[in-house]
Amino acid sequence: MKNIRRYDDLADADQKHLLHPQTNIADLLAEGPKIMESGQGIRITDVTGKQLIDGLAGLWCVNVGYGREELAEVMKKAAENLSYFHSFSGMANPPEILLAEKLSAMTPGSLNRVFFGCSGSDANDTLLKVVWHYNYIKGRPEKKKIISRWFSYHGTSISTASLTGLPSFHAPYNLPIPEVRHTEMPHYYRNAGAGESEDAFAARMVEALEDLILQEGPETIGAFIAEPVSGAGGVVAPPPGYFEAVQKVLKKHDILMIADEVICGYGRLGATFGSEIFNITPDLMSSAKGLTSGYFPLSAAHLTDEIWEVLKEGSEQTGNFAHGYTYSGHPVGCAVALKNLEIVEREGLVENARIMGGYLHRQLKKAFRDSPHVGEVRGCGLLAGIQLIADREKKAFFDVERKIPMRIQQAAYKRGLLCRNLPSVTTIALAPPLIVSEADIDEIVGLLKDAFDDVLGNLSKNDLIPAG
Ligand SMILES: Cc1ncc(COP(=O)(O)O)c(C=O)c1O
């Protein structure tokens, strides 16, 4: 009873004072917030005492799981030692330098220069400015446009919401900014023509990219940005050969490749970076989330030696790299990242993600094989998407207005499982912490199956009218 009282008091204050990110205000006021109190391993407990398995690792980030004393200790020590210092005007701190060195050794190719920020959005925003700065120094300031993909997710700042290819992120804000263009997302299940092979589909997607480049003029395009596996836009892994062919086109037109590894990086897909799996050689890369497993807000924007050389050569002409944040290279965050990466290595969590990822996909496919309203299970490693479908035979999608994935998310919550509904693509996403075991996955899949059966077994006639 005591806990319930506490929920009511907190919920009351929440509804009076909090503007929640990515939340429908009317729904929040009608339903009340869900207030989390504590976490241990893959489980969290809300303030009413309800226990939940966190099937999405927070927001795809708590890779080492909750409640790691080692990380709390490091955080405490680092804060006691040097609670804060900035990195402007050549300042630095030891954890920041050690982390930059460590990341340079871990990241693909010659990504040996790192800029630290606090979020995935600011990492991508930084990379846009690096592309612009680089081309400015090279005497081609018109080479500014960035090509992103529809249904991608790259953040919510003004520039990164522009990159994000979800129309609801654009409409109220007069976005995208004029420098951003979008091309096709290579989502085979959704966008392939009848009888089109994966190879033919991949070739068509790459052709669409090159057509856009030629239409805009290659001399105006600075970079192309993509997540190795798109997360919030539907958990879409590329068809075989896609990124290899994309990079050939980019090279031909002297366009930089930005890999957004904010979700995929640090083991989620069963490799240290998604770029390794899909043969991406990024010129620039962003990472965040799994860098600290969410224990501290920290992101990294990675640059190749080649790009850094141009910035260095140009520094006499342009002066400062006129970019940076108060909290860039925060000593506490960098110390936490170093310890977090040590845990990932020590416990073999990348390998665990690869093995458990395979198990998760097999179990999901088995559980939903006969469901008339599941179109496909897709993804890679411990990143999975379950596509809901109104009519499997006709491949007719649910109307997003019916909010079927939201209902499943709520039914799962009731049963003690957190998963994520991706409304615009009527998909349910899972991305559990990288520490999961087979028994954990069995439990997750069991709870999710019950939630699916509950919602999909009780659909109304209106629910089944497919999207127009
Ligand atoms: C691929 C990707 N890029 C960028 C971001 C933005 O990160 P943040 O929310 O930390 O700004 C996200 C967030 O989910 C993401 O999934």
Structure confidence by residue, pLDDT tens digits, 317-342 = 888 889 999 999 999 999 999 999 99
Residue 383, strand partner residues: 380
Domain count, the chain: 2
Is 21 part of any domain? Answer: no
Among residues 461, 263, 441, the alpha carbon closest in space to that of 363 is found at 441
Is the pLDDT at 97 greater than 60, yes or no?
Answer: yes
Pocket test for ligand 1, best of 154, 280, 298 (most atoms within 8 A of CB): 154
Is 422 part of any domain? Answer: yes
Dump pLDDT digits (tens) for 102-122.
Answer: 999 999 999 999 999 999 999
CA of 326 to the centre of ligand 1 (A): 20
CA of 364 to the centre of ligand 1 (A): 25
Same domain for 354 and 331: no
Is 118 part of any domain? Answer: yes
Pocket test for ligand 1, best of 62, 121, 185, 383 (most atoms within 8 A of CB): 121
Q: For residue 5, what pLDDT is reported? A: 73
Instruction: Give the 3-state secondary structure of residue 256.
Output: strand
Cα-flanking dihedrals φ and ψ of residue 230, to 5°?
Answer: -65, 130
Is 6 part of any domain? Answer: no
Same domain for 326 and 281: yes
CA of 327 to the centre of ligand 1 (A): 18
Residue with the smallest CA separation from ligand 1 atom 13 is: 155
- Domain with 101 in it: what CATH number? 3.40.640.10
Same domain for 429 and 336: no
Is 16 part of any domain? Answer: no
Q: Which atom of ligand 1 is nearest to the CA of 118?
A: 10
Q: Of all residues in the chain, what percent carry a pLDDT higher than 90?
A: 96
> What is the side-by-side strand order in the sheet with 383-388?
374-380, 383-388, 427-430, 420-422
Yes or no: say if 328 and 115 are a contact pair by the CB < 8 Å rule.
Answer: yes
Reported as a pLDDT band with limits 50, 70 and 90, residue 1 is very low
Is the pLDDT at 125 greater than 80, yes or no?
Answer: yes
CA of 121 to the centre of ligand 1 (A): 6
Q: Which of 346, 371, 406 is the last residue of a domain?
A: 346
Q: For residue 320, what pLDDT is reported? A: 86
Average pLDDT over residues 31-56: 97
Question: E-assigned strands of 70-143?
Answer: 111-117
Same domain for 238 and 124: yes
Same domain for 203 and 324: yes
CA of 240 to the centre of ligand 1 (A): 25
Yes or no: say if 152 and 226 are a contact pair by the CB < 8 Å rule.
Answer: yes
Same domain for 75 and 51: no
Q: For residue 3, what pLDDT is reported? A: 64
Same domain for 405 and 273: no
Q: For residue 172, what pLDDT is reported? A: 93
- Domain with 434 in it: what CATH number? 3.90.1150.10
Reported as a pLDDT band with limits 50, 70 and 90, residue 78 is very high
Same domain for 352 and 340: no
Q: For residue 300, what pLDDT is reported? A: 98
Is 201 part of any domain? Answer: yes
Domain that holds residue 424: 34-64+348-464
Among residues 214, 284, 216, 289, the alpha carbon closest in space to that of 252 is found at 214
Is 314 part of any domain? Answer: yes
Same domain for 328 and 318: yes
Instruction: Give the global pTM.
Output: 0.97
Same domain for 261 and 114: yes
Is 250 part of any domain? Answer: yes
Among residues 284, 194, 270, the alpha carbon closest in space to that of 237 is found at 270
pLDDT averaged over the chain?
96
Same domain for 282 and 195: yes
Q: Of all residues in the chain, what percent carry a pLDDT higher than 70?
A: 99
Dump pLDDT digits (tens) for 299-323.
Answer: 999 999 999 999 999 998 888 889 9
Same domain for 391 and 249: no
Residues in the ligand 1 pocket, defined by CB under 6 Å: 59, 119-121, 124, 153-155, 227, 231-232, 260, 262-263, 288
Q: Which of 298, 327, 346 is the last residue of a domain?
A: 346
Question: Residue 329 and residue 347: Cα distance in Å, rounded?
Answer: 26
Question: Residue 399 and residue 421: Cα distance in Å, rounded?
Answer: 14
CA of 59 to the centre of ligand 1 (A): 9
Q: Which atom of ligand 1 is nearest to the CA of 124?
A: 4
CA of 200 to the centre of ligand 1 (A): 31
Q: Which of 330, 346, 362 is the last residue of a domain?
A: 346
